[in-house]
Amino acid sequence: MTLQKIKSVNGKDEYVLLPVAIYRVLKDQIEEKLARHGTAPEYVPFVLEDYVDNPVAAARIKAGITQQQLAQRLGVSQAYISQVERRTSVTTKMLKRVSVAIHGMK
């Protein structure tokens, strides 16, 4: 596997693109190292909820499944899941259905 490097305007390696599977394995180590020896003292770890307001979308992303996969588990269309994830509020009933679909809990 070859990792893609992104160079700065000066031609020096500045970023490396990793496959998501590798990033997930290394995420905690990367964040710990950045927090201790980060290039910027204002380093703030990524928190999904800071960027995704919709609880259905957040739960789906945390579970590592696509809208299509969630739709199949719920017996609805992917378009419906997309509509639910664009809403500013979600009912308790929908959150429970999503939790059951993702985690298998009742």
Condensed to tens digits (0 to 9), the pLDDT of residues 7-51 reads 888 888 888 888 888 888 888 888 887 777 755 556 667 777 777
Of residues 66 and 37, more confidently modeled: 66
79 CB-near residues (< 8 Å, 6+ apart): none
Residue 61 lies in a domain: yes
Residue 17 lies in a domain: yes
Tell me, what's the pLDDT at 83? 96
Residue 42 lies in a domain: no
Say how many C-beta atoms besides its own lie within 10 A of residue 24's C-beta.
Answer: 11
Residue 86 lies in a domain: yes
pLDDT digits (tens, 9 = 90+) for 90-104: 999 999 999 999 988
Range of the domain at 74: 49-103
Global pTM? 0.57
Please report the beta strands in the chain, taking only residues with DSSP state E, as ranges in sequence order.
4-7, 13-17
91 CB-near residues (< 8 Å, 6+ apart): none
Residues 62 and 95 in one domain: yes
